[in-house]
Amino acid sequence: MSAPAGPTSGHIAGGVHVLPLRIYYEDTDAAGIVYYANWLRFLERGRTELLRLLGQDHSALRDERGVNWIVRRCAIDYLKPARLDETIEVVTSCGEMRGASLDMIQIARRGEEILVRAELVVACMGATGRPVRLPPHVRTALAQVSAGESPRSRHIQV
């Protein structure tokens, strides 16, 4: 019997971040299907683990630079269900990066089958609640998973 694997931050492959997840009982509704609001938690984990993998975890950015990440806008399409005990992947990439915000494109997939697609605007805020510029070292790190110019969604209007 092999030892259980520890937590993972996923990996970067083909210019995107991939985070594998398993669907647990607590993630599902009475029918054993992922409850719609839990997809937001899965997507948040994808963004958090991307930053962690790039050496830019939330707590360090907040404590050392005074930068907090907030979701300013989220457009999400639920395409197909995921069920109890399945494994899925949350795939995260960055679109357009502006001064204090950036677009993030995320999908959740089971194999090649897309289950959920989300387009977000994520902003950097200081301790006072005012926007602060995306730190240059974070911008450089995120370029590893950047599609460059993103096709701005009809849903995301800044």
What pTM, to 2 d.p., does this model score?
A: 0.88
d(Cα 32, Cα 7) in Å, to the nearest integer?
24
Q: Quick one: pLDDT at residue 58?
A: 87
- List CB contacts of 26: < 8 A, sequence separation 6 or more: none
Q: Is 85 among the residues known to form the active site?
A: no
d(Cα 158, Cα 148) in Å, to the nearest integer?
17
Instruction: Dump pLDDT digits (tens) for 28-76.
Output: 999 999 999 999 999 999 999 999 999 988 888 898 889 999 999 999 9
| Residues in a beta bridge with 20 | 89
Do the beta carbons of residue 81 and residue 115 sit within 8 Å? yes
Q: How far apart are the first and last CA of the chain?
A: 53
What domains sit in the chain, N to C, each tagged with a CATH number? Answer: 14-145 (3.10.129.10)
pLDDT over 50 (residue 132)? yes
pLDDT over 50 (residue 77)? yes
Helices (H), the chain: 38-53, 58-65, 136-142
